[in-house]
Amino acid sequence: MKVGLTRRVRTLVLVALLTVGLGLATIRVCADGGAMAAAYRTCECRGLEWQLYDQTEADGPRRTLCLGWVQSWTCYEFRTGPLVACSGY
């Protein structure tokens, strides 16, 4: 009985670690920044892009999550301003 229980516990721990690892690898903040004249970035998401905040003045800048793989990043000096090089993404 102990061997079967130990094997089940190991299997459950392995499945939990794989699920957490896959989630960390595929969930990224896509659109972010732009508040108080800060830099703003967006991405091209291969998967589902989930909007966290509405794009209204009361909610602040738009923020989205990419549930999938990020194909490319685009960074702006301001929310609507000129393109700048993305660093650290």
Q: Give the residue, 19 or 5, on which the prediction is more confident.
A: 19
Query: If you write DSSP's letter for every residue of 12-78 in order, what string do you get?
Result: HHHHHHHHHHHHHHHEEE-SEE-GGG--EEEEEEEEEEEE-S-SSTTT-S--EEEEEEEEEEEEESS
Sign of CA pseudo-dihedral 29, 47, 71, 41: negative
One-letter amino acid at 51 equals: Q
Give pTM, 2 decimals: 0.63
Phi/psi of residue 13, nearest 5 degrees: -65, -40
- Per-residue pLDDT tens digits for 34-61: 777 678 888 899 989 888 876 666 666 6
